[in-house]
Amino acid sequence: MDNDVIAQLAAGLPEGAVLTDPDVTGAYAHDMASFSAAGVPGVVVVVRSVEDVQHVMRTATATGVPVVPQGARTGLSGGANASDGCIVLSLAKMDRILEIDPVDRIAVVEPGVINAVLSRAVGERGLYYPPDPSSWEMCTIGGNIGTGAGGLCCVKYGVTAEYVLGLDVVLADGRLLSTGRRTAKGVAGYDLTRLFVGSEGTLGIVVKAVLALKPAPPQQLALVAEFGSTADACAAVCSIMESGHVPSLLELMDATTIGAVNKMANMGLPESTEAMLLAAFDTADPAADLAALGALCTAAGATDVVPAEDAAESELLLQARRLALTALEKVSTATMIDDVCVPRAKLADMLDGTAAIAARYGLTIGVCAHAGDGNTHPVVCFDAHDPDESARARESFDEIMALGLELGGTITGEHGVGLLKKEWLARELGPTGVELQRGVKAVFDPLGLLNPGKMF
């Protein structure tokens, strides 16, 4: 990178904010996605204030250098990957919880706040921030907003977008924009807040968020139901949702995932089980709700239904799901995690189709799913050191996404597009959709400096 650009950046930032050592900046090159190219950053800037971010963007606009915003780099689509010669803008140190208001039930936070830190902080006030991605102990609120993250509780409480009331955003030219509100209602003008959620840093840099909170729910109780086929398990999901039940969690694991968890943790899960459904309620009478849900599972063909009697037993039952991704990562040297969401009625077709793809390519592909949302996470396991197997993994990944679209679904339910799914976003949106989205991008970022090459 031009030394003049580095000097301009350093002139308006605190000492130590600008990092140029290649051994250090290399660590900021990419997120956790497979098959996503990463460039070499020209410089990394670790910001701590809104003014820092504004200075970086003004410098970038003046010099024409692209900027890639980053949080904790736990993403799974390459959305935080550096481009060659870019300014990597790390927001991880903007990590203050600025306000928790129990009357209006909001939290005001900086983008670098870790999801779990916020959840615990509001919990101490009798409040609840529901979005809980699997990486919640590491991922940041800014990253959650950038990708429109979800989590295990989405079946009842929804995704990140439903909790973002307002944002402060630094635009590409350094101006500060405030969107949304901190009131319970508000419909003034276009909903720019929602536009930024899921935009993956391509429209502006989020520097503050007003988040909606809920009263802390009662302790949830869980249930595990085992099935001899994925069709029966998915039929149970449809029956549960059709019957009007609102579980706080409704997750599914296929036989491949169950086997991987057994091998890693020796949990003693039945090897004959083809699919396992895990459900929980955080209602006033969770035991009664679990009994009703268990009856629906039995009617759908469950071979065994095991309800928990207390919170500790619930955690034991849910442990298998929490270990699923870690267990699948141990199957081979690399994994590629897909994120296809389909209508609930097509869930069985998605699982069975994925199993057929795995067989056709000679690969291990385990599926865990937020079944209540129809959001599947097929995990392709492959040897990254074997070029042929790596190629088959990439091809199987594409076939899984194609299957999702054929079933009326979407290529991503919560992980975002990034680099990994650019071509597939174009297929899902169509030419007119892509043209309009590029038009929106041009309004906010006319020079194309913000996270270039991502999404489309």
> Could you report the per-residue pLDDT of 181-190, keeping only the tens digit for each?
999 999 999 9
Q: Say whether pLDDT at 267 is over 90.
A: no
Q: What is the residue type of 57?
A: M
Question: Residue 270: its pLDDT value, please?
Answer: 80
Contact indicator for 132, 118 with CB cutoff of 8 Å: no
Residues 6+ apart with CB under 8 A from 65: 1, 5, 42, 59, 85, 86, 87, 449
Question: Residue 389: its pLDDT value, please?
Answer: 97
What band does 272 get if pLDDT is binned at 50, 70 and 90?
A: confident
**What's the CA angle centered on 322, arms 320 and 326, to 5 degrees?**
95
Question: Residue 189: its pLDDT value, please?
Answer: 95
> Could you report the per-residue pLDDT of 133-161, keeping only the tens digit for each?
989 999 999 999 999 999 899 999 999 99
CA 445/CA 441 separation, integer angstroms: 6
**Average pLDDT score over residue span 287-303:** 98
CA dihedral 11, 13, 17, 22 (to 10 degrees): -30
Domains of the chain: 3-90 (3.30.43.10), 97-215 (3.30.465.10), 219-259+277-317 (3.30.70.2190)
% of residues, the chain, pLDDT over 90:
94
Question: Residue 224: its pLDDT value, please?
Answer: 96
What band does 63 get if pLDDT is binned at 50, 70 and 90?
A: very high
CA distances from 360 to 35, 355, 438 (A): 21, 9, 37
Output phi, psi for 101, to 5 deg. Answer: -115, 105
Residues 6+ apart with CB under 8 A from 128: 119, 122, 213, 214, 215, 216, 217
CA distances from 334 to 29, 135, 264, 382 (A): 18, 18, 16, 5
> Could you report the per-residue pLDDT of 403-455, keeping only the tens digit for each?
999 999 999 999 999 999 999 999 999 999 999 999 999 999 999 999 999 99
Secondary structure (3-state) at 187 = coil
Question: Residue 77: its pLDDT value, please?
Answer: 95
Contact indicator for 191, 146 with CB cutoff of 8 Å: no
What band does 268 get if pLDDT is binned at 50, 70 and 90?
A: confident
The alpha carbon of residue 179 and the mean position of all alpha carbons in its chain are separated, in whole angstroms, by 23
Q: What is the CA radius of gyration of the chain?
A: 22
Question: Residue 266: its pLDDT value, please?
Answer: 85
Question: Residue 287: its pLDDT value, please?
Answer: 96
- 0.75 exceeded by the pTM? yes
Q: Which of 61-70, 87-96, 140-149, 329-338 shows the lowest mean pLDDT across its residues?
A: 329-338
CA dihedral 430, 432, 438, 439 (to 10 degrees): -170
> Could you report the per-residue pLDDT of 359-389, keeping only the tens digit for each?
999 999 999 999 999 999 999 999 999 999 9
Strand partners for 106:
101, 212
Output phi, psi for 425, to 5 deg. Answer: -60, -40
Q: Which two tokens stand for residue 9?
A: 């950046």
Whole-number average pLDDT of the chain: 96
